Amino acid sequence: MEKKVSIIEFGVAGGNGLTAVEYLASKIEQHLNGGIEFEIYGFDTGEGLPEPESKEDLPYWFEAKQYKMDVEKLKNRLTRAKLILGNVKDTSENFFKKYNPAPVGALFYDMDYHSSTRDCFKLFDESEIEKFFLPRLYLYMDDVIGQDIEMYGEFNGQLLAIKDFNQRSDGIKIHLNQNLLARNNFDAKHQIYYAHLFNHLQYSSFVGAEEKDISQQLLKLK
């Protein structure tokens, strides 16, 4: 059985998120002792934010060139993640063909704009979903909560991109997690989403028997 899973971050900038993913992936691999292996990919222009496309990109809060990456410095910092440089509207097009990644299981969205998040979702246009995705995915959406002045909502930014995606997509739906909401000790509980790939051939395979075992093992990691 394939035990490799890919993790993707959209929006890397200085690499704090991506290096944290590298660290945690290695820790989980060691802990599960060969039970799982991760591939890690990070998408970014390498030049900071592009020009905003519209008001839905929140130009009152974000502007072009913000979060510019020092590419060489970051490459030296990374231990295993692959950087995919260019505008995601282009790099998402041939990602699967070019990199032939292990099935994607988790995606971190931190490209700030409505338009960039919309273009990240182009990965879901892939037709070979069994080859390139797990049937259900964990998503982290960075820009759905913020300071008062950011004023995110369902008519702008990432939340609008999610709403539009769900409207146009029949087979895949993205929604806020419900189970973590009940936890008091988890800061990111409003930013963890799930994607259900309802047309995935493994979508209905029963995983209940494995679930208890995996939760027990992950609890020991804390």
Ligand X SMILES: C[S@@+](CC[C@H](N)C(=O)[O-])C[C@H]1O[C@@H](n2cnc3c(N)ncnc32)[C@H](O)[C@@H]1O
Find, among 89, 165, 123, the residue nearest to 8 by Cα.
Answer: 123
Figure out which of the listed residues 3, 4, 16, 201 binds ligand X, where binding follows CB under 6 A.
Answer: 16
Closer Cβ to ligand X, 81 or 174, answer by number: 81
**Candidate ranges 14-22, 144-152, 178-186, 208-216; the one touching ligand X (CB under 6 A):** 14-22
50 makes contact with ligand X (CB under 6 A): yes
Using CB under 6 A as the binding rule, the residues of this chain from 136 to 165 that contact ligand X are none
**139's tokens:** 């998503």
**Candidate ranges 75-83, 104-112, 144-152, 172-180; the one touching ligand X (CB under 6 A):** 104-112
Give the nearest distance from C-beta 46 to ligand X in angstroms. 7
Using CB atoms within 10 A of its CB, is residue 107 exposed (0-12), middle (13-18) or buried (19+)? Answer: buried
Torsion of CA 168, 195, 57, 112, to 10 degrees: -160
67 makes contact with ligand X (CB under 6 A): yes
Nearest-angstrom CA–CA distance, 134 and 153: 29
7 makes contact with ligand X (CB under 6 A): no
CA distance between the termini of the chain: 27
Nearest-angstrom CA–CA distance, 116 and 29: 31
- Number of residues interacting with ligand X: please give it, by CB under 6 A: 23
Contacts to ligand X by CB under 6 A: 11-14, 16-17, 43-45, 48-50, 67, 69, 87-89, 110-113, 116, 119
